[in-house]
A and B are shown apart, each in its own frame.
Chain A
Amino acid sequence: MSARGMASRAAMSGGGGSAFPVAVVVLGILAIWYVAAVALNSAWALDQAGRDGVTLSARELVADTWSQERPRLPAPHQVAVELWNTTVAMPVTSKRSLIYHAWITLSATLAGFVLGTGLGILLAVGIVHDRTTNASVMPWVIASQTVPILAIAPMIIVVLASVGVAGLLPKALISMYLSFFPVVVGMVKGFRSPETMLLDQMRTWNASPAQTFWKLRWPAALPYLFASLKVAVAASLVGAIIGELPTGAVAGLGARMLTGSYYGQTVQIWSALMMASILAATLVGLIGLAERLTARAMGGRA
């Protein structure tokens, strides 16, 4: 389950009135998860038991699959315990603290998100106002997203490292690469959303292009902006995590996942994944909050 998937699910359930359907879905997922843990981990448990010459009762088998040290799929409570131990029960300064690692990833995410949003808005302004930009830039924008980021990320990291740039910036750039796209697409649509009549009206008042932009196109595009930002922030997080994978980074959620996979620490991988999901859901939630406040300030019906 990717951070992006979790984030969009969180966004969809946000704002709903009744907690009951949400609880049902959560319980359903937990149930499937526990069953899957039994199915995936039982081979190892049976293998061990066979080697020790004991036969396991069904109850013992289930108990074993939910408590292995290196399960193929850790059970939810194992992940929860690991999360607790590495956040609440551990000082933030520790190199094993998940809060420390989350902060490393979050800082790259936010930097990439800000850069990507800025770049996306600038490109959209150019595309909407200039025919040549529209014809020349838009195909590249789309082409950029067809290149697998996993293939490009190591190159960016290596090239930047060779000119002495390391740390936050390369990760932020990868994050930006993923996040500017939804902003461009959304804002082009948003800037073009005012009806012809409103544009004609600005013309009858002899408004300058800048006035038409700030007084008409920009406010009209804001609902599109927030929709784009929700997608972009989740993409930023994915970008930052991917940026941590090929560098052999020692810190960050991506690094936790990578070291976890080296040593077969599935519980560690899953708790890092969970942390990424929580982070994404929080970021999307914050943007949703900003969206509601803006809508209220702009006289929305809500």
Chain B
Amino acid sequence: MRDGPVIEARGLNLVFETGDGPVHALKDVDLSVGRGDFVSFIGPSGCGKTTFLRVAADLEEPTGGTIAVNGVSPAEARRARAYGYVFQAAGLFPWRTIAGNVRLPLEIMGYARSEQAARVARVLEMVELAGFENRYPWQLSGGMQQRASIARALAFDADLLLMDEPFGALDEIVRDKLNEQLLALWARTGKTIAFVTHSIPEAVYLSTRIVVMSPRPGRVTDVIESPLPRERPLHIRESREFLEIAGRVRDGLRAGMGEEV
């Protein structure tokens, strides 16, 4: 099980019944995410990239096909606390300090107090928030809040990080910095990361694989293996390989949109 894919989807379908009729959020999605991979999901709104992540996290129930996380069902994986989920907004509890927020999943999972403190200190160090333990969320910038949210997802021993547009609300400069830090963190921890984004440069810069998706119905149109080395300085984004992959992603997105654009 340890060597198998972390996420394995076969013929996955999800249809939401809405007032305006059924919406095909995911149609026949076949996908596997290998251990230690950094996989980005990119596509326009409504292409099912977030839905796929939510299905993997057992926050949505698929209506057809199979999906396994760590070889078991998403529900079992969730109960085993197999993944950390980072949402679009930082989602920090306003009445808890930064340390209190990071400690929350540890309290819920029943870690010993001394262990909690050690882990909180370690992950806050990792996201460069040491010294902000006793601040409240509103005292931090948006980028710092999102880093705290990532620290919270790292605090317990999940090998899989599911990140749903975590930097979508941040400005370009902060986003660059956090992208760099996220890569360093990934290299350091060896975790598997599934990352949803709207941004082509972000997807290409971060990923070992890029899954291009398109809407109505939500489906996978292209999967691109990145030839970029794992070590990626920011200026790699001016290299020819980088621009080639970005071009292929853009073509994939355009083809997926069809006549709509």
Which residue numbers of A lie inside 8 Å of B, CB to CB?
195, 197-198, 200-207, 211, 215-216, 219, 298-299, 301
- In the bound complex, what is the Cα–Cα distance between A298 and B96 (angstroms)? 7
Per-position binary interface string of chain B over residues 127-138, scored 1 when its CB falls under 8 Å from any chain A CB and 0 otherwise: 000000000101
Chain B residues with CB under 8 Å of A298's CB are 94-95
User: Which residues between 81 and 114 of chain B lie within 8 Å of chain A, taking CB atoms?
Assistant: 81, 83-85, 87-89, 91, 93-97, 104-105, 107-109
Q: Is the CB of A198 within 8 A of B97?
A: no
Say whether A198 contacts B91, CB under 8 Å.
yes
Q: Which of A195, A200, A207 contacts B108 (CB 8 A)?
A: A207
A263 to B96, CA, bound (A): 59
How far in angstroms is the closest Cβ of chain A from B258?
A: 32
Give min CB distance, A148 to chain B, whole Å.
40
User: Considering residues A197, A215, A298, A299, which has the most beta carbons from chain B within 10 angstroms of its beta carbon?
Assistant: A299
Contact A206–B81 (Cβ < 8 Å): yes
Q: Which residue of A lies closest to B54 (CB)?
A: A200
**Given known contacts A203-B78, A205-B81, is B93 in contact with A198 (CB within 8 Å)?**
yes
B residues contacting A by CB (< 8 A) are 57-59, 78-79, 81, 83-85, 87-89, 91, 93-97, 104-105, 107-109, 136, 138, 156
Nearest residue, chain B, Cβ from A219:
B95
Top 4 nearest A-B pairs by Cβ distance?
Answer: A299-B136, A298-B95, A204-B85, A205-B105
B68 to chain A, nearest CB (A): 17
Docked Cα-Cα span, A161 to B201, in Å, equals 79
Which chain A residues lie closer than 8 Å to B107 at the CB level?
A: 215
Residues of A within 8 A of B81 (CB): 205-206
Q: Report the minimum CB–CB distance from A144 to chain B (whole Å).
A: 33
A206 to chain B, nearest CB (A): 5
In whole angstroms, how far apart are the Cα atoms of A215 and B84 in the complex?
19
Contacts of B93 in A (CB 8 A): 198, 215-216, 219
> Interface majority SS on A: helix, strand, loop or mixed?
helix
Query: In the assembled complex, which residues on chain B have CB atoms less than 8 Å from the CB atom of A219?
Result: 93, 95
List B contacts of A198 (CB < 8 A).
91, 93
**CB of A65 to closest CB in B, whole Å:** 56
The one of B91, B97, B108, B138 in contact with A197, judged by C-beta atoms closer than 8 angstroms, is B91
Q: What are 12 A-B interface contacts by the 8 Å CB criterion?
A: A197-B89, A198-B93, A201-B87, A204-B83, A204-B85, A206-B109, A211-B108, A215-B93, A215-B104, A215-B107, A299-B136, A301-B138
> For residue B108, which residues in chain A have a CB less than 8 angstroms away from its CB?
202, 205-207, 211, 215
Partner of A204, one of B57, B95, B96: B57
A201 CA / B104 CA spacing, docked (Å) = 11
A195 to B85, CA, bound (A): 16
How many Å from the CB of A209 to the closest CB on chain B?
12
A212 to B208, CA, bound (A): 36
State A251–B58 Cα separation when bound (angstroms).
63
Please report the C-alpha to C-alpha distance between residue A200 and residue B97 in the assembled complex, in whole angstroms: 20
Residues of chain A contacted by B94 (CB below 8 angstroms): 298-299
Contact among B59, B79, B84, B136 for A206, CB-based, below 8 A: B79
Assess the A299–B96 pair: CB atoms within 8 A.
yes
Minimum CB–CB distance from B74 to chain A (whole Å) comes to 11
Which residue, of A202, A205, A206, A207, has the highest number of chain B Cβ atoms within 10 A?
A: A205
> Which A residues touch B79, using CB under 8 A?
206
Question: Are A200 and B95 in contact, CB atoms less than 8 angstroms apart?
Answer: no
- Asked if B138 contacts A204 (CB within 8 A), the reply is no
Cβ contact within 8 Å between B89 and A200: no
Inter-chain contact A299/B87, CB cutoff 8 Å: no
Contact A203 B59 (CB under 8 A): yes
Residues of chain A contacted by B89 (CB below 8 angstroms): 197
Residue of B nearest to A301 (CB): B138
| Whole-angstrom CA separation of A198 from B149 in the bound complex | 12
Question: In the assembly, what is the distance between CA of A207 and CA of B108, in Å?
Answer: 6
